[in-house]
Amino acid sequence: MYSFKNDYSEGSHPRILNALLETNLVQEDGYGEDQFSQKAVELLKERIGRTDVDIHLLSGGTQTNLIAISAFLRPHEAAMAASTGHILGHETGAIEATGHKILSIEAENGKLTPSDIQAVLDGHPDEHMVKPKLVYISNSTEIGTIYSKHELEDLSDFCKKNKLILYMDGARLGSALTSKENDLQLSDLPALVDAFYIGGTKNGALIGEALVICNDSLKEDFRYHLKQKGALLAKGRLLGIQFLELFRDNLFFDLASHANKMAAILSEEISKANFQFLTDSPSNQIFPILPNALITELEKDYSFHIWEKVDAEHSAIRLVTSWVTKEDEVAAFLERLKSGLR
Amino acid sequence: MYSFKNDYSEGSHPRILNALLETNLVQEDGYGEDQFSQKAVELLKERIGRTDVDIHLLSGGTQTNLIAISAFLRPHEAAMAASTGHILGHETGAIEATGHKILSIEAENGKLTPSDIQAVLDGHPDEHMVKPKLVYISNSTEIGTIYSKHELEDLSDFCKKNKLILYMDGARLGSALTSKENDLQLSDLPALVDAFYIGGTKNGALIGEALVICNDSLKEDFRYHLKQKGALLAKGRLLGIQFLELFRDNLFFDLASHANKMAAILSEEISKANFQFLTDSPSNQIFPILPNALITELEKDYSFHIWEKVDAEHSAIRLVTSWVTKEDEVAAFLERLKSGLR
Amino acid sequence: MYSFKNDYSEGSHPRILNALLETNLVQEDGYGEDQFSQKAVELLKERIGRTDVDIHLLSGGTQTNLIAISAFLRPHEAAMAASTGHILGHETGAIEATGHKILSIEAENGKLTPSDIQAVLDGHPDEHMVKPKLVYISNSTEIGTIYSKHELEDLSDFCKKNKLILYMDGARLGSALTSKENDLQLSDLPALVDAFYIGGTKNGALIGEALVICNDSLKEDFRYHLKQKGALLAKGRLLGIQFLELFRDNLFFDLASHANKMAAILSEEISKANFQFLTDSPSNQIFPILPNALITELEKDYSFHIWEKVDAEHSAIRLVTSWVTKEDEVAAFLERLKSGLR
Amino acid sequence: MYSFKNDYSEGSHPRILNALLETNLVQEDGYGEDQFSQKAVELLKERIGRTDVDIHLLSGGTQTNLIAISAFLRPHEAAMAASTGHILGHETGAIEATGHKILSIEAENGKLTPSDIQAVLDGHPDEHMVKPKLVYISNSTEIGTIYSKHELEDLSDFCKKNKLILYMDGARLGSALTSKENDLQLSDLPALVDAFYIGGTKNGALIGEALVICNDSLKEDFRYHLKQKGALLAKGRLLGIQFLELFRDNLFFDLASHANKMAAILSEEISKANFQFLTDSPSNQIFPILPNALITELEKDYSFHIWEKVDAEHSAIRLVTSWVTKEDEVAAFLERLKSGLR
């Protein structure tokens, strides 16, 4: 049984474990004040090309989203997200649990546009309704699509004009930025969004997301929020060491590229076999639509999510590749898929 | 510079890193549904001697406290804690951020007694005040003291009689249970408290606390709370693998015993040098009262916390030993302390 | 300018003010422990036909909804409501501010059915999502429709079977129960819903809603929630005196009947003038669809809400009648509407 | 049985009921947008002598405190209050329920000083603790004392220097400002505090507190918070009409003066009878220390709170006078007290 279920099925890239071993007995201060975390933050700023951002290392995506959003908003302000947004349906009401409504927007391809948001603003004119304030986007999105530079610039301009906070969930930012269709760079982001995070967990780390706060007005006292929500690890070094290793050279991007490459092979071959896709994804999650009988056949040897029913006889499945997906397993899967057709 | 600042200054016990390496490429399900976490839970139940408890693995103490307490209480119910309690002064209002007041109790030696709690109950008779419901204790406490079996039984009886929830913060439970003065066993706890946690982070793990829910009425849907508060790690295996290693044999207790032994050497020798202690601690945190001049001298080569001023010329410092504290460093410190007296 | 904007444009029924005057200098205990509030509660129980319900008097609808729902739910549980539900779009995220998500359901005529709710349950299978727990309905609904006894019984059965809490917002319960199409009685409700409220503010009171908790498991400590959320009035007598007056005889129902009668006249005549309605409302809110030019004409002498655009040339307006709407003003409005057609 | 239990035992001043009657059938907009509320706000600004403050009318003290404090603070910020502060012990954790810790300060006479607050600031240096941000004071305090102009200026200067928000609970502001020892004027307050409220409920209104926000940075979007917490009354006119009446002439102050005068008579005579007082109160709440036997005697004909035990044979009781306390009842009580001594 081989798994295409997600990109966090294995541990971490071996270099990360080695780095943990090598630094293991060095005594350090706790709670992110260790030299590794501090160096990691400096290194990330260098890679982002901005020394004036604030960077905090956290454990996971839901944690990062809930702390950032609740720290950024006042009690009556709401977030907006595409209906497919992770915070809407897959985080157990984590944002609402901090007191904030999320306004759901039906959005093409999982991506938001200025006109989507304008419609929400128009529908929330006064104090009998929440005040829409933060725009939550993901890149890559939950359905594998990515934002072009142009799309993100439009969104950014609109948010600035309307005093909205633009926040990017980057759980799979590595995959987005190394996608063949991508024209954004890591260093473009600080000028375009108010805050974003660089996902480590889904790109080779054991655990870890790096939250980058670009907008000065959102920076103050952020460590208080981390501590209050249980996110400051006593051994914060665990996070610092990993990001140091991922960004010491090109490792972070190489790992993401590998995942994308494996997904691209899957996409191409499944396409050639004349199957359609639910979304047009250039990243490491793809959503082929297959006959239910074939899915049942594949499930004998592979694990993956059945995403949604398409019609009585077809469903979309989700295949996720990762930094460690083996090319021969991809080939074997495709073989199995093709043979299942006969 | 050698640090006696805390018990989380180093990484983890090498066996843990080896276990991470060995299991690294095994594909597993996420969010604590991996075989390692599940085996760890089974192993812990065995060690606790009860199969009917629910066990969840979390990342850190503040996270565990805030999730457990907010899951256990209804909105109008409050926690009670000794004024030295970690949740009162060192967690940035994490419990209050979930909506619950903590009632502070001035308590001898950091430990609560039935009469302490009775006084709080007497002072909270009606709906114009919060309803005191959960008793938070720590073992060992924040000032190094430990509960005897008899003390805990008294507290437990009182709580049962008064329909109060008794919750034990076990960030340093290893040190408490291996203290020379201890007469409690891990397997005693389920009958005495409604929930407790076994601290890994401060006893040799990289990260990780095991929350044990003993009272059936507190078990339902607990994983929802974990997810909602950002505590379900995608690579939950990271927690499972560590607890498997710590409890596979006697490692967890051996590590704590070592920490206690190092603290005992410090205590004895400092005592012999005719210094008093702020508290009578038989665990891995000790609080000697030293002349300020001597403290300044020691700070040149050692890092530790200055706990509180005692009088114009003396302060109590906190020395914390750990699973990895070196005996020769302890000896050197004592030498330095004695020579500083001349 | 005459207003059909809402049913709270005037003060209160004169008998209520007289009752306030007559009792004004009697000394009473505060916070709902006065004899008037206690008698009102007893009287309401009598009218409801059940002595085993708990009744609390509150100030307004949003306050009642937020306190009831947050008291009834655990942190990970969510409410469900029709997309037109008041708590979803017109209470400034009051429910979310207490930590709970509301799941929106597209519902025919503002009413929920078992199959609507089943679909939500099916979509929320595990701890990565909130747990749907409370079904929020309004009677009459926000768009004037009412639940038949049969519809409510179906919903009630479904909720019991699925361990869901059924909560009815009765801001306009008087209008619903006196509607010509209604076959429910006040005394039917305790067997069908877990809690509901009887709206006073929109039916002749100055202020006041009576929350009736029918399900034993939801009753405990409810006054704590009232106090914690700022709903216990020091002079709780203000609420008690009003409900005593409204239910001393048939006043409450007479006032609602009058409102319905006025709405029925408007509906019939507007219908005769060949206009359609957005919803088929038998209660005191009606939603005729009129040409925009006619609306502009009517706005010169009448105030009302423009509810939504229907097409380029037509909009639905909302006309609300009340306990004090004057029949001659209704006639004059209809005259104006008809003359505006020429 | 005559009650000295509190200052909200009766209804409202008759002029208020008359005003409600006279305006009863005027049609008005809801939610505080009626002409009465708007005129009341303008009138209050005039009386306060500042047109640049924002004023909102609310229903009660707990509601006002919880909405103001939660709107003013960010999630990690805490309030500070004297240990006798109403928000600490008599509001069922209302502030904590909005997520904010209250730091309790042992304070002489229920009043805070700069040095009290400095000590709290010193004890909260970093992100492992909440950030003390808002200073909550009451005038008059919960134990009857009042702030002198000099004391309030000192506190105000300190808060400005330390970027702290100074918030005054004025549930009994009328009594404070008309106390014979008072040297503060209503018009002094905007320059000294960031926000305060003028209590109506305990000074002759049926219901109602007027929150005055003086600091520009706290004003934005405040009505959203009112709505979200259930404080916007549909018939907001109920609040406006009352404040219009109380401040149309000197009624508000006359009522408070009467209460103070009645308390002064009680104080003087009880003093002459050689009893001590728990606090030195120049306002409408006094705390004489009486023999328990005498208290039992008095309880036969009078209701009042027993405040606290003083020694085995004496307790302090609380006597509260109000706008409507009858001078002959005061005399009768004193007679009873003196005769009880024999």
Residues D199 and D266 in one domain: no
pLDDT band at C202 (very low <50, low <70, confident <90, very high): very high
B97: left (phi over 0), alpha (psi -120 to 50) or beta: alpha
pLDDT of residue B47: 98
Residue with tokens 């996420």: B30
Count Cβ–Cβ pairs < 8 Å, chain B vs chain D. Answer: 55
Residues of A in contact with B63 (CB under 8 A): 229-231
Would an 8 Å CB–CB cutoff place D35 in contact with chain C?
no
**Residue D245: predicted pLDDT:** 98
Give the residue on D whose Cα is nearest the Cα of C323: D25
Q: Which two tokens stand for residue D187?
A: 């018009």
Q: Which of A249, A276, A308 is the last residue of a domain?
A: A249
Which residue among B26, B64, B206 sits closest to A235, beta carbon to beta carbon? B206
Q: Is C101 on the interface with B (CB under 8 A)?
A: no
Shortest CA gap C93–chain D (Å): 6
**Dist. CA D55–CA D40, nearest whole Å:** 9
User: pLDDT class for A228, splitting at 50, 70, 90?
Assistant: very high
Positions of chain B with pLDDT lower than 50, given as ranges: none
Among the partner-chain residues C93, C104, C128, the one whose CB lies closest to the CB of A78 is C93
Residue C151 pLDDT exceeds 70: yes
Phi, psi values for residue A281, rounded to 5°: -100, 125
- Tell me: do B47 and B94 sit in the same domain: yes
Rounded-to-10 torsion of CA C258, C261, C265, C270: 100
Q: Which residue of A has its CA nearest to D223?
A: A127
Question: Nearest CA of chain B to the CA of C227: how many Å?
Answer: 6
Residues D103 and D78 occupy one common structural domain = yes
Do the Cβ atoms of D117 and D105 come closer than 8 Å?
Answer: yes
Closest CA to C289 of C257, C312, C255, C323: C312
Q: Which two tokens stand for residue B106?
A: 């001035």
DSSP reduced 3-state for D306: strand
Residues D217 and D256 occupy one common structural domain: no
Q: Give pLDDT, residue D340.
A: 78
Final residue in a domain of this structure, among D249, D270, D289: D249
Instruction: Quote the pLDDT of residue C342.
Output: 66
Taking contacts as CB-CB distances below 8 angstroms, the residues of chain D near A127 are 221, 223-224, 226-227, 232
* C198 neighbors C209 (Cβ within 8 angstroms): yes
Q: Which two tokens stand for residue D136?
A: 């909550």
In this structure, what CATH number is given to the domain that contains residue D303? 3.90.1150.10
In the predicted model, what is the mean pLDDT of residues A320-328?
97
Looking at residue A294, its pLDDT comes to: 96
B74·C76 Cβ contact <8 A: no
- Spatial CB neighbours of C140, under 8 Å, sequence gap ≥ 6: C146, C172, C173, C175, C176, C179, C281, C283, C284, C285
Confidence of residue A300 (pLDDT cuts 50, 70, 90): very high
SS3 content of chain D, % helix, strand, coil (to 5): 45, 20, 40
Q: Do the beta carbons of residue B208 and residue B201 sit within 8 Å?
A: yes
**Residue in B closest to A11 by C-alpha:** B24
Check CB contact of C235 with chain D, cutoff 8 Å: yes
**Cα(D258)–Cα(D62) distance, integer angstroms:** 25
pLDDT tens digits for range C3-17: 999 999 999 999 999
Residue D341 has pLDDT above 80, yes or no: no
Largest CA distance in chain B: 62
Partners of residue B98 in chain C, C-beta under 8 Å = 75
Task: Give the closest-approach CA distance of A83 to chain C in angstroms.
Answer: 12
CA distance A226 to chain D (A): 9
Alpha-carbon distances, residue C172 vs B53, C198, C322, D83 (angstroms): 48, 8, 10, 44
Question: Cβ of B230 and A63 within 8 Å?
Answer: yes
Domain boundary among C183, C217, C250: C250
Taking each helix axis from N to C terminus, what angle separates A35-48 and A237-248, rounded to the nearest 10 degrees?
A: 40
pLDDT digits (tens, 9 = 90+) for A176-193: 999 999 999 999 999 999
Contact residues on chain C for D207, CB-CB shorter than 8 A: 207, 233-235, 238
Q: Is C31 exposed, middle or buried (0-12, 13-18, 19+ CB in 10 A)?
A: buried
Query: Looking at residue D342, what DSSP letter applies?
Result: -
Same-domain pairing of B232 and B217: yes
User: SS3 of A199, please?
Assistant: strand
What is the rounded CA–CA span in Å between residue B124 and residue B102?
13
Residue D342 in this model has a pLDDT that exceeds 80: no
Same domain, A301 and A170: no
Coil, strand or helix at A9: coil
Number of compact structural domains in chain D? 2
Q: Mean pLDDT throughout A202-223?
A: 98
The CA angle A27-B231-B321, to the nearest 5 degrees, is 25
Q: Which residue has the tokens 């898929």?
A: A337
The pLDDT value recorded for residue C268 is 98
DSSP state of C187: G
Give the chain D residue nearest A130 (alpha carbons).
D224
Which other chains touch chain A, taking contact as 3+ CB pairs less than 8 Å apart?
B, C, D
Q: Does A119 touch chain C (CB under 8 A)?
A: no
Cβ contact C257:C178 at 8 Å: yes
Contact B94 A234 (CB under 8 A): no
Tell me, yes or no, whether C38 and C182 share the same domain.
Answer: yes
Sequence-distant (≥ 6) Cβ neighbours of residue B267 within 8 angstroms: B277, B281, B286, B288
Gap between the Cα atoms of D255 and D261, Å rounded: 10
Q: Which of C177, C164, C147, C246 is nearest to C206 (CA)?
A: C246
pTM of the entire predicted model: 0.97
DSSP state of A29: -
C166 with C56, same domain: the answer is: yes
Could you tell me if D248 and D23 are in contact, meaning their C-beta atoms sit under 8 angstroms apart?
A: no
- Decide if D171 contacts D196 (C-beta within 8 A): no
C257 and C215: one domain?
no
Q: Which of B241, B233, B218, B176 is nearest to B41 (CA)?
A: B241
DSSP for B115-135 reads HHHHHHHHT--STTS-EEEEE
Find the CB nearest D75 among B76, B89, B97. B97
Q: Are A271 and A238 within one domain?
A: no
Gap from D128 CA to chain B (nearest CA, Å): 5
Look up the CATH number of the domain holding residue C70.
3.40.640.10
Tell whether A225 lies on the interface with D, counting CB pairs under 8 A. Answer: yes
Spell out the residues 6+ positions from residue C184 whose beta carbon is closer than 8 angstroms to its own.
C139, C147, C148, C149, C152, C176, C177
Given a contact cutoff of 8 angstroms between Cβ atoms, the answer to whether D143 and D287 are in contact is yes
For residues D121 and D106, state if they share a domain: yes
User: What's the mean per-residue pLDDT of chain C?
Assistant: 97
Is the ipTM value over 0.90, yes or no? yes
**What per-residue confidence (pLDDT) applies to D293?**
96
Q: Would the CA dihedral through A315, A316, A322, A327 be positive or negative?
A: positive
Task: State which residues form the domain around D286.
Answer: 2-7+252-341
CB contact, 8 Å: B128 with chain C?
A: yes
Q: At what angle do helices C251-272 and C237-248 cross, to 10 degrees?
A: 70
| Residue B136 tokens, joined | 């938070």
**Residue B342: per-residue pLDDT:** 66
Q: Do D337 and D243 lie in a common domain?
A: no
Which of C291, C273, C289 is CA-nearest to residue C281? Answer: C289
